[in-house]
Every structure is written in C-alpha cells, then in structure tokens.
Amino acid sequence: MLEEDVDVLIVGARVAGSVLAALLGQDGQQVLVIDRATFPSGTLSTHFFRGEGCVGVLQRLGVLEEVLSFGSPPLVREYNADATDGSSTVDPPQTPGEVGFNLSVRRETLDGVLVERARREPTVEVREATTLQAIVREGDRVTGGVIADGAGTRLIRARLVIGADGHSSRVAKLVDAPIQQEIPPSRAMYYRYIQGLEGPGGKPDGPEFSLGDDELVYVFPSDGGFACVALSLNLDDYRTVRRDADRAFQARVAGHPFIAGRIEKASWCGRLWACGPRPSLVRVPTGPGWALVGDASMYQDPWTGLGMDNAATHATFLAEAVDDILSGTDESVAWADFHRRRDEHAISGFLETADLALDLNALRSG
Ligand SMILES: Cc1cc2nc3c(=O)[nH]c(=O)nc-3n(C[C@H](O)[C@H](O)[C@H](O)COP(=O)(O)OP(=O)(O)OC[C@H]3O[C@@H](n4cnc5c(N)ncnc54)[C@H](O)[C@@H]3O)c2cc1C
C-alpha cells in the first residue's frame, strides 16, 4: 500500500474541517484534509449563523467579502412573531459580535468557499471523493488512517488525526470516543427554498421566527436570492406531517400569518428536505493522537441553529491546541485545555437547546 506522512490528517472538509485546516496551514503545518464528498456541494442543513461565531471566523480567515459577494444580505435585525396571537416584534440580531450582523449562506456556497480557502495554504492539501476506511494505531495511540479514493487505498501516517466528519462520525466510532452526554430526540425539521420573498419591511434584512403551538417556522434570507423556509416540529406532529410532507409543510407554514401573505407571492423551488429525529450527543473530544471537532464532537437538535457557530469557533480552539502539541506542549495538557474551552463555550447552549426542544411553548415565558 502507498504510504504518506503528514502532521495532521483531517477527515471532513466542511465548516469544522476546512476552518481548522486553513488555520493550521497559516502556521505552516502539513495538513491533509479528506472528504468523501466533492465540492461545491450541499449537505442536510439550514444555515443561519451569527456574527460572534461563524461570521467572525470567516472574517478572520479573510473570506467574508467573498462569501458576501454571493448575495446573502447582512442580517442586522430579527423578526419574532407569535402565530397564536398574531403579535410580532422587531429585535436586535442575536450575538452579532464585532462584525455587527448575522448571515445565512447555503452550504453549497459556504462550504465551497471554505474548501478553496483551506487549499490556498501551501501546506494544506484537500482531497475530495476520498473516504476514511480505518484508523491505524501503535499501542493506545492513533498514528494515522487508511484512506481510499477511486485509485485505491493509502496509508497516511499522521502525528494527529482529527474527526471533522459530522454527527455520525466514523473517526469517533473507530477511536471509540466516549460519550459525555446523550439526550434522546424530541423534534424533527423540514425545510425548502423559496425565491422572490420580500422581507417584512421590503428588502430582506433579518431572519424571521414565527412561534406556533410547539412549532417554529423560520425564514433565513440567503445567497443567490434564495430564502430558506424551515419548520421545527415535535415528534407527534412529525408523525402526522410525514404522511404527506409536501402538502403538510406548506399548510403549516401558511398557518403563520406574519409570513404567509408574503410566501403566497413568492416561488417555491427545489424539493422539500427532511431531518428526522436524531439524538443530541456530546462526545469526549480527544484521546491519544486524535481529536473531534464540529458535529463529530457535539451534535444538538438544529432548532437553535448553533452547530455552524460551534463548529467554526471550536475549530479555532482546536487549531491552537494542535499548534501547541506540534510545537512541543504535552498532548494531554493541550487536549484538556481544548476540552475545557469547548465545554465552557457550548455546553450551556447544548443543554438549553435540549431543554426547550421538549416544548417550544416555553419560549413564551422566557
Ligand atoms: C436540518 C438541519 C438544520 C440545521 N440548521 C442549522 C442552522 O441553521 N445553523 C447552524 O449553525 N447549524 C445548523 N445545523 C447544524 C449544522 O449543519 C452542523 O452543525 C454543521 O454542518 C457541522 O459542520 P461539520 O463541519 O462539523 O460537519 P458536516 O457539515 O456534517 O461535515 C462533515 C463532512 O465529513 C465528511 N465525511 C463523513 N464521513 C467521512 C469519511 N468516513 N471519510 C471522508 N469524509 C467523511 C462528509 O462528507 C461531510 O462533508 C443544522 C443541521 C441540520 C441537520
């Protein structure tokens, strides 16, 4: 089998993997990123994220202008409506950070920009259509991986192997990453794209959130003139809706008066996307020779839309830990620091997401 040596093998090239690779490349580390997907391509995800999280990381990587050139409007406010009494408010954006706005960018667009950003670092190579098949160990320590593409398999020897490979992470399974916390699913989500949707005040300038009876309808104005319209449901309603999902999705959205009138004048496009119930999961994110980042390390119900902010932010934390290890810091010290920073940043949001997911009517009292 052909063999190669790198400092870091990253499995997964979307938000977590490409951000990490770009940051490590800036510090001169030899990085191989693999993804079984090819880019640009979408993935099952709506894509609202915040100034303090993913938008700030795009700015730090120097690609915010490029991302904005695809037409996503800066989301400088947000619209909150209550479909049960017809009320609505205009509110400031959630945690807009120093950039001062939030964004929604289709994953095909965003992940494509991030992959190319990683590739601009001379010491980073991104290989598409390449799958991790196995992990290689010496004793307890992970020392590389076996990867496969159309041409065959290769052994990649790496000082560190990183799983940025999403919520059903193969790396996590192969290294037997311990589960830190698991919460059973309580919700599901549908979404579809629409074109020509006016904002509440004309030009779209904020996400819209309309709360029904334990259901939430979202509008995320995005790139290319598209808006993403999403619906979060409890599992009883999901079981009903999925019997005739296309019709039921539109009927449910039509039950939200703040949004419905404008939707009637716009054009639905593409298919309806469905995300059924999935458990929320926090994994212990490190071990000898390996680490996890993004959804591989922490997956929560998407109703709060925290995953991309977490993936981008935790990739910045992990880049610092990896740099420290590669320049001589004791691995267990650097890993403990990364684990602590991840948890301090995201565990409260994870728990709040799971708690409120049991009944979104609780949002009215909080
Ligand atoms: C329905 C839904 C709606 C969402 N809405 C939002 C939202 O509005 N805002 C938000 O912030 N978050 C949202 N999220 C969460 C968000 O999608 C994730 O948090 C985010 O995609 C995590 O990025 P990642 O880079 O960790 O993993 P992913 O985006 O899952 O990327 C993992 C990559 O790893 C690759 N891979 C997997 N296994 C292998 C293998 N063995 N070999 C090679 N490659 C492999 C995959 O091909 C994939 O490209 C939503 C999620 C869902 C399901």
- Same domain, residue pair 86 and 199: yes
Residues in the ligand 1 pocket, defined by CB under 6 Å:
11-12, 14-17, 34-37, 43-49, 131-132, 164-166, 170, 189, 275, 294-296, 302, 305-309, 311
- Same domain, residue pair 135 and 48: yes
* pLDDT given at position 366: 65
Q: Is residue 318 part of a domain?
A: yes
Ligand 1: which atom is nearest the Cα of residue 46? 5
pTM for this model (two decimals): 0.98
Residue having the nearest C-alpha atom to atom 26 of ligand 1: 294
Q: Is residue 356 part of a domain?
A: yes
- Same domain, residue pair 7 and 122: yes
The enclosing domain of 260 has a CATH number of 3.30.9.100
- Same domain, residue pair 154 and 290: yes
Range of the domain at 301: 2-67+106-183+279-361
Tell me the CA–centroid distance for residue 77 and ligand 1, in Å: 26
Pick from 275, 309, 341: which residue ends a domain? 275
Which regions of the chain are under pLDDT 70? 366
Tell me the CA–centroid distance for residue 273 and ligand 1, in Å: 15
- Same domain, residue pair 296 and 179: yes
Tell me the CA–centroid distance for residue 258 and ligand 1, in Å: 30
Ligand 1: which atom is nearest the Cα of residue 307? 19
- Same domain, residue pair 303 and 344: yes
Ligand 1: which atom is nearest the Cα of residue 170? 41
- Same domain, residue pair 147 and 16: yes
- Same domain, residue pair 178 and 303: yes
Tell me the CA–centroid distance for residue 14 and ligand 1, in Å: 7
Tell me the CA–centroid distance for residue 162 and ligand 1, in Å: 15
- Same domain, residue pair 209 and 113: no
- Same domain, residue pair 349 and 290: yes
The enclosing domain of 130 has a CATH number of 3.50.50.60
Task: Spell out the SS3 assignment of the chain.
Answer: CEEEEEEEEEECCCHHHHHHHHHHHHCCCCEEEECCCCCCCCCCCCCEECHHHHHHHHHHCCCHHHHHCCCCCCECCEEEEECCCCEEEEECCCCCCCCCCEEECCHHHHHHHHHHHHHCCCCEEEECCCEEEEEEEECCEEEEEEEEECCEEEEEEEEEEEECCCCCCHHHHHHCCCEEEEECCCEEEEEEEEECCCECCECCCCCEEEECCCCEEEEEECHHHEEEEEEEEEHHHHHHHHHHHHHHHHHHHHCCHHHHHHHHCCEEEEEEEEECCCCEEEECCEECCEEECHHHCEECCHHHCCHHHHHHHHHHHHHHHHHHHHCCCCHHHHHHHHHHHHHHHHHHHHHHHHHHHCCHHHHHCC
- Same domain, residue pair 137 and 258: no
Q: Is residue 366 part of a domain?
A: no
Ligand 1: which atom is nearest the Cα of residue 296? 26
